[in-house]
Chains A and B, each alone.
Chain A
Amino acid sequence: GAVVSQHPSRVICKSGTSVKIECRSLDFQATTMFWYRQFPKKSLMLMATSNEGSKATYEQGVEKDKFLINHASLTLSTLTVTSAHPEDSSFYICSARVRVAGSYNEQFFGPGTRLTVL
């Protein structure tokens, strides 16, 4: 149980185009999903937290107009990189959890999406 998938696993796009990455919880309903970015040989940096049915909360320094996050259902969140540029090339990882008040809620991670912008 607790499987999170991401699609696509790899994507190459031209500079200036937009790319959508999907994150799905396959066997549970995720009230909250997180989006991380990982640079080569670096740690994971939290980009934003999205709660189903509400606007995402972005971390300081993350451009919300560039990285559009939608969490329209309890099993799907999407990250759209708008007007992508080579510096947006990175490994994007999502995680999902069920939020239960008063207890620890484990995050389950997706396999990641490798974005390359030419």
Chain B
Amino acid sequence: AQSVTQLDSQVPVFEEAPVELRCNYSSSVSVYLFWYVQYPNQGLQLLLKYLSGSTLVKGINGFEAEFNKSQTSFHLRKPSVHISDTAEYFCAVSLGITGGGNKLTFGTGTQLKVEL
């Protein structure tokens, strides 16, 4: 079975500073990787996904992530954050097209708090 680890439960950062949210996964087969954002009392919004191809994936709101197969990581980055980026961020994995029915396994989330 696959699993996802988000080591940082909270990441405080000043506005306009860069940020990296870490995500590591474990799986014995190929996977798809995702980052979602959740604002308070709301559902999840997809930021970006890696299915195949280029390992650098660009998403919405200026976020990007890089798939590193050797390190089994999919870290999320943004060069300059804004107050409005304050939210909970979830990394998720699903098995590749060969199995799993696209069920998502989520990490425990990282609370990004952007301060003035």
Contact = CB atoms under 8 A, between A and B. Distances in A.
Interface in B68-115: 90, 97, 101-109
B37 to A, nearest CB: 11
A93 B103 contact: no
A105 B100 CA distance: 12
Contact of A109 (B41, B45, B107): B45
A114 B40 CA distance: 12
Interface residues of A, number: 26
A49 B90 contact: no
B11 interface: no
**Looking at chain B, what size class is its interface with the partner chain?**
20 to 34
Contacts, number: 50
Interface centre among B32, B44, B49 (most CB of A within 10 A): B44
B57 interface: no
A54 interface: no
Contacts of B102: 97, 104-105, 107
B42 interface: yes
Interface in B7-47: 32, 36, 41-46
B104 A110 contact: no
A32 B94 CA distance: 15
Contact of B46 (A6, A46, A103, A106): A106
A114 B41 contact: yes
B97 A109 contact: no
A49 B103 contact: yes
12 contacts: A42-B108, A43-B90, A43-B106, A44-B44, A44-B90, A46-B103, A91-B41, A104-B51, A104-B102, A105-B102, A107-B104, A112-B41
